[in-house]
Each structure stands twice: as C-alpha cells, then as structure tokens.
Structure 1
Amino acid sequence: MAYYQKHLSFVAFLLLIVNLHGEHSMAKEVVPVGVVLDLNSTVGGVAKRCMSMALSDFYAVNDDYNTRLALLTMDSGNEVIAVASAALDLMKNEEVHAIIGPQTSAQAKFVIELGRKAQVPIISFSVTSPSLSPAQNPFFIRTSQDDSAEVKAIAAIVKAYGWREIVLICEDTDYGNGLIPYLMDAFEEFGTRVPYKSVIPPSSNNNKIAKEIKNLNETNARIFLVHMTASLGSKLFVLANNAGMMREGYAWIITTGLSALVDRLDPKVKESMQGVLGLRPYIPRSKQLEDFKRRWKRNLTSSKPNVKITGLNLFGLRAYDTAWALAMAVEKAGIMHSGFLKKNASKSNVDLAALGISETGQTLLDTILTTEFQGLSGKFHLIKGQLEPSAFEILNLIGKTQRIIGYWTEQTGLSQELDDIDEVAYSISKVGLKQPIWPGDTTNEPAKLRIGVPVTKGFDEFLKVEWDPRTDKPIISGFSHDVFLAVLEALPFPLPYEFIPFMNKDRQSAGTYDELIYQIKLQKYDAVVGDTTIVADRSLYVDFTLPYSESGVSMVVLVKDEEKNNFWIFLKPLSLDLWLTTGAAFVFTGLVIWVLEHRVNSEFRGPLDQQLGMIFWFSFSTLVFAHRERMVNNWSRFVMIIWFFVVLILTQSYTASLASMLTIQRLQPTFFDVKEIKRNGYFVGYQNHSFVKGLLIKQLNFNESQLKPYSTPEEYHEALFIGINNGGVAAIFDEIPYIKLFLAKYSSKYTMVGPTYKTDGFGFDCSCVSSGLPTRIFFSPTHFEGNP
C-alpha cells in the first residue's frame, strides 16, 4: 500500500524475540499490537522510538512475565484514508489485540469506529480533541488529557490580567474546532467577549494566512489565543511578526498542542514568538525521567552521529507510558493464544464486512482502565477512559529559551511555585505569576486602555493636566478623573490604562472637543475621560457612558442693583394700583362713618369745612388708632371692625416688604432673554473648543460674528463686567456645570437666566472596536448628583 509500510513482519517478530530474550523467550506468548503513526512527523518519529525503548525497559524489569508485546508499526502518513486502511489491515490480517494511535482527531474518528466494531481497544496518546470522548466511544482510550482540561487554566490567565476581549485563532480541523465551545463558555462566565474567531485551514499557504492576519490587525485586537498544531502555528507567528503584531501592546497565548513542541520549532519561528505565553501539562521531575533522557541522547548520538539530536517532547513521554501500560495490562489480563471469533474469509485486505471480533478486547480494555503506575510523564491513572487531569505549567518564550512563570491546578489556581498551597497567593490574580516578558521585549502589560484627556486652560476642577518636574510625565487630577478612578475600584476586574493628553508639541490643546473625541474613531485612543458632553453627532462614531453630571446649556448675565439707593424706595412695597385703591378706601370709610354718625352723634356735626376734614382725618387716624371721636351707632362700629382688619393686613405687608428692600440687595439681570440680545446685535461669549458654538449658530441662530470664545472663569468675568459698550459681551452661554462653578466664584455679580437648552450631560467616550479590554463602562447619574 502506498500510504504505509510494514516495519515488522512475522519473521521480524521472531528475530526480535531471539535478540531480546534468547532461546528461553521462545516460550513467551507474543501479543501483536498495531501502531498507526505518521513517522515523518515530529510526534510520530519520537513516539515510535519511545515505545520501543519502553518495551525494552519493561521486559528488562519484568523478565518473568509470560507475555511479550510485538509492535506492528504502520507508517500511515497524514491522510485519513491511509490511516483507516492501515488500521483495518492490522485488525483483519494481523489480528492485533490493540492499536496505538492514530495521531490526529480527524484520523481517529474512523479508526475508533473500527475498534468498536471489532472490539479492539484504540489507545491514543496524542488525540486531544474534546469532540472524541471515551465516554461515547467504549473502545477508545485516551492516555492523555483532552484539550478541555486546560480551558480553566487559560481562563484564569485571561481573568488575572483583566482582558475583557480576546480573539480566538484555531485551525479548521476537529482538533481546532473542538475546543471553541469550551473556551466560549469559560470566558462568558466572567464577562470576557470573543468579538472575532479566526479559523484557518491547515492546508492554507502563506498568502492565505497573511490575508487572515491582515483582517485580524484591522479589528484593532490586542489579545490572541492560538490553538493550532506546530506546523500551522509556526507559519502564523512568522507572518504575524512580519505584520507588526508581535510588538509592545500585544499578548499571545498558545495551547498545549503548540507549547509541547516549542523546543522543536525552527529558530526563526522562536524568534517570532518573543513574549508568547504557553500552557502545557506539568511533568514532574524524577530519577527515572532523567535516566531516560540520558539514554535517549546517548542512543541517538551513537546510532546517528551526523544527525541532529531529536528532542524529546510531551507526546513521546506519553507514548512511552502508553506502551508500558499496555504491556502491564496484557500480562495482567492473561492473554494467551487468543484471536478473533469470526475469521475472515475474504482475501481483500480492506474488506470491512469480513472484520472479526476480538476474543480478548473487552478484558484487555477493562484491565487497561484500572492500570496505575508512576510513568515518565507523571502518574498514569485513567478516569472515564482518559488520563487524570494534572497541573499545568505556564511558560514564557524569551528569545530561544523558555521561562516557567507559574503553574495552575484545579485546587489552587495560579501560583508561582507548585508546592505552595497558600490559597490567598493562588487566587486568580496576576500576582500569582512571575513577571512575564511581553512581546516587544517589555514588562509593560499589553492592551492598556489608551485614554485621551483634554488639555484646557480653565475649569480645571473637572480635569487638570500638570507635569511632573522629575519624570516629565503627565499628572491628571479633577472631578472627571476622580469619577473614573472610583468606577475602576468598583469593577470586578483589573483595568490597565494610561492617560494620554490631547496636545501639540507645545503642550497646548491640539484641537476642539469634537476633534479629541474623533481620535477614538481614528483608533488613536480607546476612550476619552474628561468633561465631554454627550451630543448626538458624536454618538455616530463613539459610545458614551451614562451621564455623571447635570445637563443643559444656559446663559449667565451681569446683575444690577437700583433699589437700595432710591429715595422713593418707601413707595416700592405697594404697586401704584394698590396705593390708589388704599387711598380711595380711606376716603370711602371716613364718608361712611360720617353718614352713619352725623344724625345721632354731635361730634360729627359742625361747619362744612370741619366735617370734610373729619371725613379725611378719621380714616387715617385709625392707622395708628389715634382717632378721638366716639361712635354711638352700632353699624359704625361694625364698619370699623372690618376697616381695622384691612388696616392690619396693609400695615403688616407694607412693613415686611419695605424691611426686605432695605436689608436685602435686590439684584436684577441686565438681560432677561435671548431675543433681546439678538434683536440688539450684542456680542455673546462661549467656552473655547466647546460644542456650544455650534448650538448658538444652528439652534439659536446667532451670527458667528457675534460670538467670542473664552477659556477661563476670569475671562468670563472680565467680558461680562466691562459690558457691551466697552468690548465685552451681553451674556455667556455655557453648560450648567461650568456656570455653577463660575457663579460659585462670582455669585454677587452675575446670575443664570433664560431657558435651559437640553443636553445629555457629561459622559466618558469609548471605542466601539476591540482592544482586548472593556470598551464600555456605564455609570448611574444618581451616583454623582449635585455640584462637582
């Protein structure tokens, strides 16, 4: 067959037995076992040699055993059909009791089905896809951990560094696709988004991979998880490095499939993987392992002195343990002179219908599942048909070397040392790991949130940018800055960030607030923190948080006081109409009393001029109860009761109003509404670089020539105080938070008048694209009510 080669024929079995055990060994039961591997691959070549050494070591220790495994190795290549044909040939024609292999998940699917039909255990040390489960395939044994075992370790790293967005890059095979659902579920538990999944076929050439890398770069993603085999992963990292995606600000994580073979990668590939983090199962150190490594190196050097030494890898060690476990199980199961129940009558090597059923398959399967020992790769203990999960080590690729920065176990989480069981130190935090070297040869954490901040002259109560004289780095302070830090403290995850002032080379503002916010769309900033107002036009290209300040635009004007120094101020408590009505009431009341008392009371009689004087005098004298005339008519007395009540109300109201005018300064705005200002063509001011300029022109219909920009509260004060006749302005238009700050400083001279033009208040602006960190932080406005 073109796809495979028989390395040991029946004659070779006998020669091997004679060489190993001499004449005495001829009495041993030879148990044929099939091996299906791609011998030209990194995994297959090493695994074949490791299994051969395993059997030599095993029978050297257990010379008294009655059974001897004979490995029938088929070089199947990497084609699925060739693998299936090789496995079928081994079962049908060689009647093997078990098959070790194949290497990949795609190849294993059909072979596992053949094993179920023939009841021949299929034992794989390299098939790790969770889609192939021993629980669903009774004659499938996995002597390794499936890929889902490392999902929690990956999630712990992602959570520890606070990455809220991560891009998955997988190969388009059963191996690559099988892990995606597990990763998605794990990230969803603590809120990490996967905005993009890149699935690359293993047959892709460099052009196709480069095109996909370009697409990844355009997403502005910074955090990547790569789940690929070594052959495809090598191409990916070289091309990613060429595309500038292995520099500072990026983070890459690789899974076991690539991490376990990183030693075998080409030096150029290793150089491209500078700063990558990787996970692989932890292999405990042991005397047995060290001795095997020495013999491995010595055997290769002596047999092929001119050939570069092939390094051991995780799969080779597990192949060694697999062969050891199978030899132990065959002896324990007592397999002697067994074969297939239904013999094959067909002469075809690939006749599936003629496949028999192994007599010892179920017994051998049960025995392997209960086999336990301490192997080269760690404890060999199968749970539900696959290797018991163990600890993972986290490695950091630095140039051509590897540095272990920590470990992860189910019980303790992340840690710097595996034997430390302090749960506090092992909490899911980056403190649990040693400092890694990130891409770009830096210790600065990747994917920091780039936060733009405005550089302004005035109103630095909201945001102030200063410069440290020693480090020459910006120092940010102010209300908006404090709100941002308060929210960070409330977040359940860390959020690395850096403030970047929006300035020119002279450290002055580089433009308007609109231009500052537009930098998010240009991907120069991931967010903007400052006194930026939520405006509909800006929402077209950025996301805003909920507002954290009072909203609206109003105007502030100068006030005048004309009451306190007025000579006629005593007339101000009552209006003219009330004064006239009160005077008429005095005269009318006096006239009524005179009419009622004139006939019966002599005090109300006399000359005409005297009677007229009494009519006017009597009512006024009652204000201070100074009247001397005695009333005898009951109706007069009734009228006086009503009059006294009216007088009491008038005097009390007048006294209170006059006292208020004399003690409290009566301030009146110089202008009451916008229409008066526009009608007279007066100048108005606004805050420089603010969106208010556009509101004045588009919504209030001011001519741009009437507008004057100002930056500080002091400039506001000067422009309003000198007035419209001396080059000043009639009013200043600004947002209510700024106006309140201005009035807090100059409250006695100015006031806020006119309608409030509605806005949505201050909010933080965020990018809509992925950067590996959270791009939306929401605030409740009720948390920050009141004056800043």
Structure 2
Amino acid sequence: MMKNPTSHVSCLVFWLLLFKTLLAMADMAQNTTIPVNVGVILDLDSLFGKVGLSCVNMALSDFYASHAYYKTRLVLHTRDSMRDVVAEAAAALELIKDVEVQAIIIGPESSKEANFVVNLGDKAQVPVISFSTTSPSPATSQTSYFFRIAQDDSSQVKAISSIFQAFGWSEAVLIYVDNEFGDGVIPYLGNALQEVGARISYWSVIPPVVTDDHIVSKLQHLMTMKTRVFIVHMLPSLGSRVFAKAKEIGMMSEGYAWIMTDGMTNFFGSINSSAIDNMQGVLGLKTYIPNTQELEHFRVRWQQKFQNDNPTILNVKLDVFGLWAYDTAGALAMAVEKVGSSKNFSFQKTNTSDRANDLETLGFSLSGPQLVQALSSTIFRGLSGNFTLVNGQLQSSDFQIVNVIGSGERGLGYWTPKDGLVRNMKSANTNTSTNTYSTTSNASSLGPIIWPGDTTTIPKGWQNPNHGNTLKILVPVKRGFRELVNVTFDPSTNTTMITGFCIDVFKAAIEELPYAVSYEFYPFAKPNGEAAGSYNDLIFQLFLGNYDAGVGDMTNRANRSLYVDFTLPYTESGVSMVVPIKHSKSRQGALVFLKPFTWDLWVITCCCFILIGFVIWVLEHRINEDFRGPGGPAVSFWFSLSTMVFAQREQLVSNLSRFVVVVWCFVVLILTQTYTASLTSLLTVEKLQPTVTDVGQLLKNGDFVGFQEGSFVQELLTNELGFHVEKLRAYRSTQELAQLFEKGGVSAAFDETPFMNLFLSTYCSEYTMIEPTLFNADSGFAFAFPKGSPLTLDVSRVITNLQEQGKIQSIKDKWFKKDAGCKRDPATTSISFNSLWGLFLLVGVSSAFALLVHAAMFFYHNRHLLILPDSNASLWQKLCKIVTFTL
C-alpha cells in the first residue's frame, strides 16, 4: 500500500514552522539580556596589558558560550592607563561618572597606580578588581570594594624562610626596588626569617630608574659584607640588570646564593635568553598552577588568537597573570548574574549643583553592596586553580621552587602552608597534618640544585669579610701584669712571642667562629721594644684603618666607643679598691662567754635540761627513794644539770632512765667540747680587718693612693672621686704595687677588678679587696674593631657561648690561680642550732621512746584499775584514778 504524498509535505511544513519558531524565541531571549557596563583599565601599549585584555575577552566569550541562558551580559569599556597614575585616575573617574560602570577591572604594574582607583571605587560603591596588584598595599581589609585576584607578596615569605631553614642560613641581604612593590614585603619577610632563627642583615634599595654605575656601586658594597645569601624582590625589567651586573663583578660565582621572589619568576617566560644566562644557579619562587587538560587546551587557543591579533609580537608565553585575568572576568560574570534584575544596575547622584566638581557629582552605584557580597561568595574551579576569596583576597598560597639552569628553569619541589617543602604535590596532598604552617624544612625535600658557579655544593651563606686577607691585630706592650698580655722579644731569632689571658680568649673566640679567619699579632711598640703609646693611642690606630682589631686588656670606655666598636666584655667589670689588712685581737667583753653559742642554741639547750629532768623524775619517782616526796622534781632537775659537769650523785634504778642518761651525757659531752673550742677561738684568734673601708676616709686623711700607669683609672680618681694629682702614685706591676704598700707610699690602690684579682692571687694574705667603688655593668675587657666591622657582632656572640660553656673560666684559672694555697684564716662566728640540730633530735627521740615504753609497762601491770566497781564511772574518772595512783 503506498503512502499519501500529501502527508509527507504536511509533516515537512510542520517541522519548518517549529524550527522558525525556536529561532524567533532565541532571538527574543537574546534581545532580553541585561547589559552590565564594566570598565577595564590597562596599559594597552605594553605586552602585559595586551595579554591581560586578550584573556579577559576570551574569558567572557568562553563563559557566555557555555552559559547562554544567563540573563546578564558584561559589556566592556576599555581605557588606556598609559602607565601613568593621573591617566588611570582620569579613566576611572570618566568610567564611573559618565559610563556608570558597575565594576572596574584593572591590571596596573605597580600598586601606586591602583591606590587612587581603589579610593574612587570605595566612594562610588563600585567594586575594583585587580589581577596584577601583588603588593600588600592597598590592603583588601581596608575597603569592601577592592578585590585582589592575585597572590599577595606576603604569602611567599614563609616559603622563603623554609628555604633558609632547609639550608641552615642565618642571614640574608634583601635587594629590592624603591617603590610600593618593594617596600610592602619588608616587615613580613623580616618576621618570617626571625621565626626560623635568621634575619635580614642589610637592606639594599635600588631606585626604579637607575644607571648601571649605580647598580655596580651597590653590588660592590655588598661584596664587602660577610653575608652571601641575597633575596631579590623586583620586577624583571630591573632585576635582569641587577643580575647582569652581579655576574660582571663576580657575584654569580661559587659561594653565593640568590633567591628571586615571584615578582620575577612569574614573568620568567617573558625574560630573554641573555638575561637568563646571567641568572644561572639562582633559586626562584613562582605561583603554583595545577596543570590540567583544560589549561593546556586554553594555552593553545590563546596562543593562536593572540598571535592573530598581534602578528608583530612573537614568542609570547601565557603567564599566571593572564590566568588570573581570565578567572577575574569569569568570577565577575557569575557575580553579576547573582545580582540579577536591571533595576539594581543604576547610579544615584548625590549633588547636582552647578558649582560641584566631578568627585562631588560622582554618585554611587545602587548595586555595589549586592555585587560585593555576590563576588565574595563566588567559588569555582578556574584555570589558575580553586577560586576562593577571603576578605577580598584570592586564597592561593602554594609555590613552586625552581632553579635557573641553561636556557630555562627546572622544578625542584613545592611549598605549601600545611606541609612546607615537598618534592612533589602528591606527597603534600597525602599529608594529614593539621598545622596551619609547617615548622620543619630540610634540603632533602628538594631536588638536586645547581648553584651559582656551576657547583652542587650548598653555599655556607657567609664568607670571610676580609676576602681571605690576614687580619692585622694590634696588641699593647706592658711591663707588668704579664699574665694578661705578655709581649716578649727575642733579639737572637728576631721573633716576638705574644701570650696571656687576653690572647688565649681571643684565639678561642676565633676558633669558635663558623668561618676561617687568619690573623697576625702586631705589638704596639717602638723599635726599641717600649710601648708606642697609651691605650687611647692604640684605639686611634684602629680608627685610622691601620689595623683590623685590637686585642688586650682594653676596657670598652664610652669615649673610646666613639672611634671603634667593642665586643661584649669577657671579664668582670668595675673598678675596685685594694687596702692592707690589719691584725687585731678580739675585744673581750663581760658577756664574751655567751658568744660561742647563738641565742637559739642556748634556749634549746636549756629546754633539753628541763626535759631530761622531767623524764628522769617520771621514770624513777615510783621506784627510787631519791626522787620521791615533794622534793623529787627538784632533785630530778638538779640531776640533769649536774650531768653538764658529770657530777651527778643520785643512783638510777630504772634501765630506761639509764638509757636516757647515757644518750644525754653523750650530747652534753659534744656541747661542752664545742663550747670550749669556740670560746678559745673567740679569745685567742686574731681578726683580719681592712685598714680602710671608705674612699671618703682616704680623702679626709689626705692619704696617697695608687693607680696603674697608663690606665683610665687616673681620670676617674681625679675627675670623679676628687683626689688631687699630687696624691696619686703610679705602678706598673704587682711587685711595684706591693712595694708601694710596704714602704708606706700608699694607703690604698685603685684599678680594674681583673688587675686587682691578679694582685690578690699572690698577696691575698696581706691585702683585701673592697667592693667596687665605680661599677658599670657594660664595661670590662673587650676586643676592639674598626667601626662597621662585621666581626664585632660575630665575636660578641662567640664570647657569650664561651662564657656559657665555661671555657673563659678555664682560661682564667690557667693564668690567675698561681698560688692556690694562699688562704686567710676565716673569721670565728657563733655556733647556731642548725649546726647541732641532730644531737637534739637524738635527745628527743630517746626520751620519747623511754616514756612510751614506761607508759606501756605501767598500764599493762595496772590494767585492773581500769575495771572499777562503780559501773557508772566514766573513762576520764578511771584515768584520773590511775594518775593519782601513779603520783
């Protein structure tokens, strides 16, 4: 049976009408979309601006192709910033006032350009979104209308500190550009390094516009420093010039370490090959972008489109800022769709006066607050990774560590806030640590590194500041106190031997430094071997730059610190007074017989006599006729007192009494012997007392005093203590000082405490030291270095370590303890209860034991008394009856 041809025609007509209807509906939907004006301000003449704009356009094209059902459409109004702050501000003002844009996307290459636009957006309630402003300023927390769709520079400082921790570096030099981009990271980087025990030892600031000679001058200054780890924080345009000059003067050789922040590494694809050749061995941090198929497909499409749009620009690579620009446009399109209806996308004018300026008539966007809220809550998976905003800041904190090798970069590992340094991201993802930041990092977490100089040896991070030259150490020449510094000339061999306590401390400090320092001692002497001048003259030689350090018994005085830098002192401080000792017999008073014992010992002894008398009476009065009757207690106390001279006449019957008396007689024997010995000492031993105890006494009597020749103590005696010059006598050795005392030339001597200790180590039986009359906690013997010498701080740290380890004390014992048998007779003091408390404890325990045994035996033999005929009697009445029976 054949089909009717008419039915086929009718069916075809029906489908054609249906298709035409659908096309009409699509056109109607297209015509009902809501246009939303959005401003875009970029430097359209720069490669950075061209890449950003192409990514924004491609983002909207891709977004609406996959979201054709959206009711809103972003309409871009592009303006050229011309890399000028005024031009960018004028463009933003025109977009808000005339075009009434609902948001502005900016891509400035510096934070300075963004600040004014952000302020305008805040005033007009127009969100300002930047995909390139990485400096912490402006801060997103200071305004609700600024969004940073880029990593904050401060987010990478933890990664840098982890690298320092991994390689054990303690210091770094920061080289940064002098603008908002460079300044913003400084406080964050300093704090991060401090947390891992490192610090920034020097800040080298380079202006954005600078000559090559100025860069070379800056780098040559850095070469004179000890630190060999450099952190470079600037953009590639300036950073490439810095590395070129660093290589030219030899700072890209073995022993140096360089770290680039992501300000350079994120642009690495746009750096030419000649600049890369100057960066061999440099480490860099770059934003970690997960590699996905979608991203690879986009790179290919973008490369083709950009090349077609810009045929004269070749070999351009897409960087992370282009991906952030792409995600920025997509996030804004989503947020605008959330806000919805057209009535929200309008402006309200605030002032229509003819005299009002542009800012006063700016008005504000009615949809601004809703758009801010919608944008803040937008979450999606973008080309740059997970898109999440917290306080207007993109949450993306993972970094890749790269090493510049050959014509490109090689990945070494990664850094994440949770896991720290890791070799690959898979191991980081499997780590279940809940810590906010990882606290441990090690070099094994990274791949093999080629350092500057084409070496695999990890740089130490420091180098001898003198570049291998031998330090010239100036040493004072002294005639006395050779234990401190002793310079000996040997004419036969034409050699000089330098020894002493100060020399040994310096040698120990140099050995403890974490780097090798060669040195040679030079005596501060004339050709005939005599001292070439005073200590101040020696200090002035360091100030002139003729020597690299001064070592000896030099004190860090304030006036000397104007010319040199001193380390921490390595000896005790202060100026002490030494006086002779006078010998005098003890004065015998009427109550001298009470002095052998302290008052508390006398009281305890008397209480023990009473206790023993009571115990003997309790144990004897029922069975011994000598202790019965009304006079029994008195006899017992007399018995206990007579034991002091062992003259007791009463006979004891109870064995318990005999036990108590034997213990007590032993204690009395010890007490009497101790008392006799102490009293004899008090009456016969001579007391050693200083002849002078106060400086005022010396001044009042007009006595002569001694000081060491060439010492600053002479100035203290005349200027601060008030001694006349004619009352001062100089000495140069311990022997000369002893002769001054013996001949009656001086009544006291003043000098620094170490010298006085050295004098008393030989003459301690004849002289004594009075408490320091002039004391300065910061003064003492110290090593001197020229101003600005990096060795000052390092040696000071080592001195602290040597003191904590006891090495300085060992050196001091070696030189100062020549006569260990020199001891004075100790002063006789009264004996206290604390010295004999064991004896009295023995008396108490023995007496208590005897009483307990006696009571137990008594109650056992008289237990029938507890059973009274009167059943109504209480226990207390029964006990009273027993006590009455006992008495």
What's the offset of the Cα at 1:215? 3.4
CA distance in 2, matches of 1:405, 1:44: 31
Q: Are the equivalent residues in 2 in contact too, given 1:259–1:279 (CA < 8 A)?
A: yes
Matched with 2:618 is: none
CA distance in 2, matches of 1:88, 1:252: 43
Where do 1:490-529 residues align within 5 Å? 499=516
Matched with 2:856 is: none
What's the offset of the Cα at 1:364? 0.9
CA distance in 2, matches of 1:295, 1:228: 31
Q: Does 1:170 align with 2:180?
A: no
CA distance in 1, matches of 2:506, 2:200: 29
Residues 92, 304 of structure 1: CA spacing in aligned structure 2 closer, same or farther, 3 A cutoff?
closer
Matched with 1:469 is: none
CA distance in 2, matches of 1:381, 1:138: 16
CA distance in 1, matches of 2:174, 2:88: 30
What is the aligned counterpart of 2:296 among 290, 309, 333? 290
Q: Are the equivalent residues in 1 in contact too, given 2:549–2:783 (CA < 8 A)?
A: no
Q: Does 1:206 align with 2:212?
A: yes
Matched with 2:133 is: 127
Residues 108, 347 of structure 1: CA spacing in aligned structure 2 closer, same or farther, 3 A cutoff?
farther
Amino acid at match of 1:408: W
Where do 1:649-728 residues align within 5 Å? none
Matched with 1:272 is: 278
CA distance in 2, matches of 1:113, 1:146: 19
Residues 764, 290 of structure 1: CA spacing in aligned structure 2 closer, same or farther, 3 A cutoff?
farther
CA distance in 2, matches of 1:764, 1:428: 38
Matched with 1:395 is: 402
What's the offset of the Cα at 1:397? 1.4
CA distance in 2, matches of 1:327, 1:222: 49
**Where does structure 2 lack aligned partners over 5 or more consecutive residues?**
1-25, 472-503, 525-541, 572-730, 735-779, 815-887
Matched with 1:80 is: 85
CA distance in 1, matches of 2:209, 2:305: 35
CA distance in 2, matches of 1:404, 1:256: 14
Where do 1:327-338 residues align within 5 Å? 327-336=333-342, 338=345
Q: CA offsets per residue over residues 228-256 of structure 1, 9 Å max, x none?
A: 12222222222222232222222222212
Between the two proteins, the alignment pairs up a number of residues equal to 542
- What TM-score, normalized to structure 2? 0.52
Q: CA offsets per residue over residues 154-191 of structure 1, 9 Å max, x none?
A: 22222333332222222222221122122223333444
Amino acid at match of 1:393: Q
Q: Does 1:137 align with 2:143?
A: yes
CA distance in 2, matches of 1:301, 1:430: 42
What's the offset of the Cα at 1:105? 0.9
What is the aligned counterpart of 1:438 among 428, 436, 451? 451
Q: Are the equivalent residues in 1 in contact too, given 2:255–2:452 (CA < 8 A)?
A: yes
CA distance in 2, matches of 1:131, 1:527: 45
Superposition RMSD on alpha carbons, in Å?
Answer: 5.2
Residues 42, 700 of structure 1: CA spacing in aligned structure 2 closer, same or farther, 3 A cutoff?
farther
Amino acid at match of 1:85: A
Q: CA offsets per residue over residues 561-588 of structure 1, 9 Å max, x none?
A: xxxxxxxxxxxxxxxxxxxxxxxxxxxx
Residues 766, 194 of structure 1: CA spacing in aligned structure 2 closer, same or farther, 3 A cutoff?
farther
Matched with 1:233 is: 239
CA distance in 2, matches of 1:160, 1:765: 33
CA distance in 1, matches of 2:732, 2:140: 71
Aligned-partner SS, 2:426: coil
Q: Does 1:68 align with 2:82?
A: no
Aligned-partner SS, 1:170: strand
Residues 305, 513 of structure 1: CA spacing in aligned structure 2 closer, same or farther, 3 A cutoff?
farther
Residues 358, 215 of structure 1: CA spacing in aligned structure 2 closer, same or farther, 3 A cutoff?
same
Q: Comparing 220-229 with 132-141, which one deviates more in the overlay?
A: 220-229
Amino acid at match of 2:223: N
Q: Are the equivalent residues in 2 in contact too, given 1:394–1:404 (CA < 8 A)?
A: yes
Amino acid at match of 2:461: A
Matched with 1:359 is: 366
Residues 263, 773 of structure 1: CA spacing in aligned structure 2 closer, same or farther, 3 A cutoff?
farther
What is the aligned counterpart of 2:461 among 442, 447, 454? 447
Residues 28, 275 of structure 1: CA spacing in aligned structure 2 closer, same or farther, 3 A cutoff?
same
CA distance in 2, matches of 1:534, 1:331: 81
Residues 276, 772 of structure 1: CA spacing in aligned structure 2 closer, same or farther, 3 A cutoff?
farther
Q: CA offsets per residue over residues 404-425 of structure 1, 9 Å max, x none?
A: 2222222112222223246799
Q: Does 1:314 align with 2:320?
A: yes
Q: Are the equivalent residues in 2 in contact too, given 1:87–1:111 (CA < 8 A)?
A: yes
Where do 1:240-639 residues align within 5 Å? 240-303=246-309, 307-336=313-342, 338-342=345-349, 351-421=358-428, 427-442=440-455, 443-450=457-464, 499=516
What's the offset of the Cα at 1:482? 13
Matched with 2:722 is: none
Residues 776, 438 of structure 1: CA spacing in aligned structure 2 closer, same or farther, 3 A cutoff?
farther
Q: Does 1:98 align with 2:103?
A: yes
Q: Comparing 198-207 with 54-63, which one deviates more in the overlay?
A: 198-207
Amino acid at match of 1:394: I
Matched with 2:622 is: none
Matched with 2:54 is: 49
Q: Are the equivalent residues in 2 in contact too, given 1:165–1:771 (CA < 8 A)?
A: no
Q: Are the equivalent residues in 2 in contact too, given 1:329–1:367 (CA < 8 A)?
A: yes
What's the offset of the Cα at 1:100? 0.4
Residues 290, 219 of structure 1: CA spacing in aligned structure 2 closer, same or farther, 3 A cutoff?
same
Residues 498, 200 of structure 1: CA spacing in aligned structure 2 closer, same or farther, 3 A cutoff?
closer
Aligned-partner SS, 2:171: coil
Matched with 1:781 is: 803
Matched with 2:723 is: none
What's the offset of the Cα at 1:120? 0.4
Q: Are the equivalent residues in 1 in contact too, given 2:169–2:460 (CA < 8 A)?
A: no
Residues 286, 316 of structure 1: CA spacing in aligned structure 2 closer, same or farther, 3 A cutoff?
same
Amino acid at match of 2:327: D
Q: Are the equivalent residues in 1 in contact too, given 2:167–2:458 (CA < 8 A)?
A: no
Aligned-partner SS, 2:245: helix
CA distance in 2, matches of 1:142, 1:30: 25
Residues 211, 356 of structure 1: CA spacing in aligned structure 2 closer, same or farther, 3 A cutoff?
same
Q: CA offsets per residue over residues 191-220 of structure 1, 9 Å max, x none?
A: 433332222221223343333333333445
CA distance in 1, matches of 2:552, 2:128: 66
Aligned-partner SS, 2:348: coil
Q: Are the equivalent residues in 1 in contact too, given 2:176–2:234 (CA < 8 A)?
A: yes
CA distance in 1, matches of 2:355, 2:70: 36
Amino acid at match of 1:54: A
**Where does structure 1 lack aligned partners over 5 or more consecutive residues?**
1-20, 455-478, 489-496, 503-509, 515-519, 549-697, 702-759
What's the offset of the Cα at 1:435? 3.3
CA distance in 2, matches of 1:485, 1:22: 86
Q: Are the equivalent residues in 2 in contact too, given 1:391–1:409 (CA < 8 A)?
A: yes
Q: Are the equivalent residues in 1 in contact too, given 2:294–2:383 (CA < 8 A)?
A: yes
Q: Are the equivalent residues in 2 in contact too, given 1:438–1:446 (CA < 8 A)?
A: no
Residues 501, 190 of structure 1: CA spacing in aligned structure 2 closer, same or farther, 3 A cutoff?
same
Aligned-partner SS, 2:388: strand
CA distance in 1, matches of 2:405, 2:791: 24
CA distance in 1, matches of 2:223, 2:73: 56
Matched with 1:161 is: 167
Q: Are the equivalent residues in 1 in contact too, given 2:39–2:95 (CA < 8 A)?
A: yes
CA distance in 2, matches of 1:251, 1:39: 37
Q: Are the equivalent residues in 1 in contact too, given 2:41–2:79 (CA < 8 A)?
A: yes
What's the offset of the Cα at 1:303? 4.8
Question: Among the aligned pairs, what percent are the same residue?
Answer: 40
Residues 440, 542 of structure 1: CA spacing in aligned structure 2 closer, same or farther, 3 A cutoff?
farther
CA distance in 1, matches of 2:366, 2:76: 19
What's the offset of the Cα at 1:430? 2.9
Amino acid at match of 2:441: I
Q: Are the equivalent residues in 1 in contact too, given 2:172–2:229 (CA < 8 A)?
A: yes
Q: Does 1:114 align with 2:120?
A: yes
Amino acid at match of 2:67: N
CA distance in 1, matches of 2:518, 2:512: 20
Residues 252, 26 of structure 1: CA spacing in aligned structure 2 closer, same or farther, 3 A cutoff?
same
Q: Comparing 262-271 with 112-121, which one deviates more in the overlay?
A: 262-271
Q: Are the equivalent residues in 1 in contact too, given 2:564–2:784 (CA < 8 A)?
A: no
Residues 434, 542 of structure 1: CA spacing in aligned structure 2 closer, same or farther, 3 A cutoff?
farther
